Structure 1
Amino acid sequence: MNGAQNAASRAGRAIVKGGRFAMSSAPRVSVLVPCYNEVGTVRELWAQVRAQFAALGVAGEVVFVDDGSTDGTREVLRELAAEDPATQVLLLRRNLGKAAALDVGFRATRGDFVLTMDADLQDDPAEMPRFIEALESFDVVGGWKAVRHDPVEKTLPSKLFNATVRKVTGVQLHDMNCGYKGYRRAVVDELRLWGELHRYIPVLTTARGFTLGELAVTHHARRSGVSKYGWERYLRGLLDLFTVVYITRYRSRPLHFLGTWALAFKLLGLLLLLLVCFTHNLALGVLSGVLLACAGSWWAVGLAAEGGHAAAYTSLPDYPVAERLNG
């Protein structure tokens, strides 16, 4: 971007005056709302978000990403887009999941600050000023539903899930999966989601060196529609945890991960082979051979992964440089 474009971009952004935002032509804040079969709430949510923009005196945009709704949500979103040029609507061809909807939406947002919230009105748009204020201090701000208005079959597994993720990753956040979050622009520009990795956004962003804050938020009971998630999402979430640990700790050094297992298998195989020499136990000999073969396979896979990483290096995101002086 050249100097003239930089100046135009700065001129289009809101300016903070006296703790409030002055209006500008480009959005200072983007509110991203993934939705799936929420026809009963999207219009009211849209109205409440726009009311918050007006109260703050901030130029804002609402970005709805419909994830293949079949209940009339898409028709309502088309109406909202026709009524308000500052409302973007993206309609996915089919249901692809929340991570895909968020990823598509992040690419469409233009604000310096991006807030995400669910479409069911369980998140309160009145909390928006608190998120914007917190984003002056943190790169990512996660909501924490300290008091949840959900049945125990949702709250209990959620507590177990969050405790497990905190223990494994070291990221100390009460509520990893709360949909109400805030991001600075730099975070959104680097963040990529696929599968069901939206549950691990705090872990993924912390691994990139971004600072993380947390706000206790109001959580309302669902007013219409039904929950789209059940117990199975926590099983999938725990499986995804292995993916997250791998890509945040070992993606650039896969042989360290695979080689560790290969070494363990090899040592155990050699120990069993030594026992075979004294016991002449055929079963132990077979097991030893299997373990040694597995060790060789792990080494081979690790080396192949290292080669694949090297080949794809130029297409990976840059390492996070927080500041550059005289560069």
Structure 2
Amino acid sequence: MDGLLSLVIPVYNEAESLGPLVDEIDEGLAAREGPYEIVFVDDGSGDRSFEVMQGLVEKRDDVRVVRLRRNFGKATALSHGFAAARGDIIVTMDGDRQDDPAEIPGLMAPLSRGYDLVSGWKQRRQDPLNKTLPSRFFNWTVRTASGIPLHDFNCGLKAYRRDVTETISVYGELHRYIPVVAAQAGFRVTEVKVNHRRRTAGRSKYGWRRYMRGYLDLLTVLFLGRYQHRPQHLFGGLGTLLAVIGVIIELYLTVEKLVFGEPIGQRPLLLLGALLIIVGIQLLSLGLVGELIANSRARRGPDPAQIRAVLEPAAVGRAPSPGGRRDGGAAGVAASP
């Protein structure tokens, strides 16, 4: 783990924190033998954040800045940071100094044990109750719905292998669910306890609107993870259930009319049964359309990002493929791109 390390730090109105944060990063990584770079992503800051970052670039050769045209949100900032990062290992952290850079070496340790993404688990969180209580409920909900046993999905302090950042797509506000998206893509995910500090400058960007957005994003992540390649299993199953219930209702009313002579023209149950049949057929049709889209994507071949490694016999007299190894009759191992 001594190759280039990239620190990706989204920034939004954190001018007072950036200078001390860089000093703490230098101190936290002083014992590390390999080089590192700091990639700031200015997400449309309205204060002096960009001027501070500009000064850091002029003083140091290991600081780079990506400035966005306006405030697009943390997910977009992370996506641009991932694209700009040059390291094989990427660590993300927030720019408000609540994440402790001294935790970075410990955060990276599980990567050497075969994990692909390591998420921080904030201990003794230094935030008010209006943030900690909803966060606990959020983490419990995501843990239960996704089946991924993490305690702090939204911790800004995370370590990634480059394969992860090149494979997953982070957009909208899906940054809260990066461990879920990575696990659904087949990467190994774990967590490490980290120190959390009180904010000393700037203002929190936490707001009540994120509750509804977080709920909708969770539905998106769960749907894409489970039904992206088999949409008919969701829409077709639900549509069939509704249609069957509707048919049963209509058969019941038919018996009521023909056998017992009961009037059914004004009964709400008649409209309910017809509505269920129509909605069921529409959901079945939607599932078929989804299958057509999934089929057209599948015709382009399997996704190479799903492959962890390829084992091939080493041919005598033939040079091994890039990334492979040949030792007598041993098999070559070609890592996925």
CA contact (8 A) 1:143 1:180 kept: yes
**Is 1:195 aligned to residue 172 of structure 2?**
yes
Please list every run of 5 or more consecutive structure 1 residues that lacks an aligned counterpart in the other structure.
1-15, 22-26
Equivalent in the alignment of 2:322 = none
CA distance in 2, matches of 1:225, 1:316: 47
Q: Which moved more, 1:302-311 or 1:145-154?
A: 302-311
Give the alignment partner of residue 215 of structure 1, picking from 179, 187, 192: 192
- CA shift for structure 1 position 69: 0.3
Letter in 1 for 2:40: F
Equivalent in the alignment of 1:243 = 220
Give the alignment partner of residue 134 of structure 2, picking from 154, 157, 168: 157
CA contact (8 A) 1:62 1:86 kept: yes
Q: Which moved more, 1:313-322 or 1:207-216?
A: 313-322
Instruction: Specify whether residues 45 and 315 from structure 1 end up closer, same or farther in structure 2 by C-alpha distance, changes over 3 A only.
Output: farther
Letter in 2 for 1:282: R
Give the alignment partner of residue 177 of structure 1, picking from 130, 150, 154: 154
Equivalent in the alignment of 2:25 = 49
Give the alignment partner of residue 283 of structure 2, picking from 278, 281, 298: 298
**Is 1:74 aligned to residue 60 of structure 2?**
no
Letter in 2 for 1:325: L
Equivalent in the alignment of 2:40 = 64
CA contact (8 A) 1:103 1:194 kept: yes
- CA shift for structure 1 position 191: 1.8
| Structure 1 runs of 4+ with >6 Å offset | none
Q: How does 1:225-244 map to 2 (within 5 A)?
A: 225-244=202-221
- CA shift for structure 1 position 212: 1.3
CA distance in 2, matches of 1:231, 1:158: 12
**Is 1:284 aligned to residue 284 of structure 2?**
no
- CA shift for structure 1 position 317: 4.7
Give the structure-1-normalised TM-score: 0.88
Compute the RMSD of aligned alpha carbons.
Answer: 1.7
CA contact (8 A) 1:53 1:59 kept: no
CA distance in 2, matches of 1:156, 1:231: 13
Give the structure-2-normalised TM-score: 0.86
Letter in 1 for 2:68: L
CA-to-aligned-CA distance 1:257-289 (integer Å, 9 cap, x gap) = 111110111111112212322152531111111
The alignment of Structure 1 onto Structure 2 pairs a total of residues equal to 303
Letter in 1 for 2:270: G
- CA shift for structure 1 position 51: 3.1
CA distance in 1, matches of 2:8, 2:95: 10
Letter in 1 for 2:306: P
Letter in 2 for 1:238: Y
- CA shift for structure 1 position 319: 5.1
CA contact (8 A) 2:121 2:193 kept: yes
CA contact (8 A) 2:28 2:103 kept: no
CA contact (8 A) 2:27 2:102 kept: no
CA distance in 2, matches of 1:79, 1:196: 30
